[in-house]
Structure 1
Amino acid sequence: MIEIKNVSKSYNKTSNAVDNVDITINDGEIFGFLGPNGAGKTTTIKMITGIISPTQGDIKINGVSITENPLEAKKQFAYVPDSPDMFLRLKGIEYLNFMADVYNVPKNQRQNKIEELAKRFDMQSALSDQLQSYSHGMRQKIVVMGALIHDPEVWILDEPLTGLDPKSAFILKEMMREHTNSGKSVFFSTHVLDVAEKVCDRVAIINKGKILFCGTLAEMKEHFKTNESLEQMFLEMTENE
């Protein structure tokens, strides 16, 4: 569970990049975070993951405050950033072992997890190669694998499907559903609205730092009294702003 309570972030003390956001991501749900470029999505994710601190408010991961107890809070989640271009001189297996070391995953346990993830993403033959030789999609897959190495309860994914081939994208969406079916939570940002429409249990739409809507697609259609797609409702909502 992720609890975002009255969170704002100001960089210049005159206007808020994120303005009084108050949403809860429940156990057992895939929660989509939608918004145009510059809407406040990445700033919000950076606050949830403890990369930056909120100007006001608090964020709790499974009841642990990211501001008051950051190390314990960070053990609760996996984070996949929007760019997979990191640690490029490491080999795939070195990167996965590094991530396992960060999260204190026991040697025997990590080996099984690496084999399971490598097989699922068809990466077995690439683990001995350097990340800098990988395609963008392969880098995206290895970063996802590294994030999941400690089997965290909460997944926080920033545009996770970008660059993935159709098969890998399908596998990741399948894994997201398996994860929430076991009572855990997935929070992911995306600009691909048809993916959000098919995958998410609930969505929040942010624009200019404010949450314009939070709920299910059915609730949004009821709110608009329409049978339009999520894409049409999203465009209407953000353009009106």
Structure 2
Amino acid sequence: MARLPRLYAPDLPNLAQARFTVPLSLGGEGQVMLDQVAAWLAEDSKQHGVAVHGWTLTFDQLLLLATPAGPAGLSGLVQSLGRRLAARLQIGRVFAGRFRSTLVEPGAWVLPSLIWLETVPLRQGLAADPELWRWSSAALHVGAAAGGAVHDHADYWACGNTPFDRQANYRSMLLEGLPGASSTRIERSLQGQWALGGPVFLQGLEGSCSRRAVAAKRGRPRKAAPASE
């Protein structure tokens, strides 16, 4: 079956996942590589016009919440990171197949998607607190670290009127985590590469995005009723 074209619509954030073909080592060497990929991410996102709102690197995957300036921006960023990492590790393919991505509805699913990706290290048992995992944007968003090439989304700014309020309110949400149903919805949208949002948002994507934004209903189309004589 032919693969789906990349789902894209102007000025909308994307949640993306790229899994490594071979997980990085869990020791010091793997940590050095995570440091290097994080540095490349900050550099290459600028080159490819991708505003990164949140990110997480673990030993087996890269997760991004980002808004690309054009349809090729996100693909160019992931490909650039793959080429750099392949050259550094002296291996062939770095990522296991195409990276997965989904469009995310602002005002409804941006913050849940951000919380979902920043709590991956917690779910994988890599850190006791999301902000303690230094290869993610969590520490920046809760005020535990400064700097970093992160362009905060408007939904994050809406968490409070001051930096302290935003950081404190977001930290509460991060520690609370997501309901299971929300996590499942995010994971299914990412796996299927269908847009993540409500009916109005999805309907509004018709005609403005690169392909169908939702999966077609299964089964044969219903036959039209015969015309009455």
Give the TM bin, normalised by the shorter chain.
Answer: under 0.3
Structure number with greater Rg is 2
Of Structure 1 and Structure 2, the greater strand share is in 1
Q: TM-score, normalised by structure 1?
A: 0.24
